[in-house]
Amino acid sequence: MINAGELRPGNTVERGGDLLQVLEFAHIKLGRGTAVVRTKLRNLTTGAVTEETFRPEEKFGRARIERSEVQYLYRDGDAYVVMDTSTYEQTPLTPEQIGDGTRWLKENDTLTLLSYEGRILGVELPITVELEVLETEPGFKGDTANAASKPATLETGAVVDVPLFVNQGDRVRVDTRTGRYIERA
């Protein structure tokens, strides 16, 4: 069991038969009253996000999420096929299980598969990915000091804003959580 005051972003807990992942957490001390814990929770079954307030002493069941390393192989219709790197077992995943991560997937990428009691919850992508710029407007001399940006289409089809000095054919590093350009690789 875990108290509401011990919750942190990324924790997964059970409540009322539902698996909830903590997205945000704030411990708030009210003026003359008692402290409260405000959280933003994602229901891992339905995907719904809710904001809830608890007393710090309220208890939740701790959920043990199994993590296994998988490699993305290919896309088969709507399914994304991954292979467990230890057992070589192939598993098709739906776009809902991968979520927004479909924008960053390319063949042979390594992912972390999240499962609970044999049920696949989703995947965790690496924090950053390195992708090639397939299409963007050309940069001009002198643009390197400017803070302006331009759209660039990457090899996975995702479009991100990059600085003006990035050209077609360059490799760039992108943060998969925010979808923002980090640096030229």
The pLDDT score that the predictor gives to residue 133 is 92
What's the CA gap between 135 and 152, in Å, rounded?
6
According to CATH, the topology of domain 2-62 is SH3 type barrels. (2.30.30)
CA dihedral 88, 103, 112, 89 (to 10 degrees): -20
Please choose, from the candidates 9, 3, 62, 60, the residue with its C-alpha nearest in 3D space to the C-alpha of residue 36.
Answer: 3
Strand order in the sheet with 128-136: 159-163, 149-154, 128-136, 171-175, 180-184
pLDDT, tens only, 55-111: 888 888 888 888 899 999 998 889 999 999 899 999 999 888 888 888 888 889 899
Asked whether the domain spanning 128-184 has the same topology as the one spanning 2-62, the reply is: no
What CATH number is given for 128-184 in this structure? 2.40.50.140
Q: What are the residue boundaries of the structural domains of the chain, listed by start?
A: 2-62, 66-124, 128-184
Evaluate whether the domain defined by 66-124 bears CATH number 3.40.50.720. Answer: no
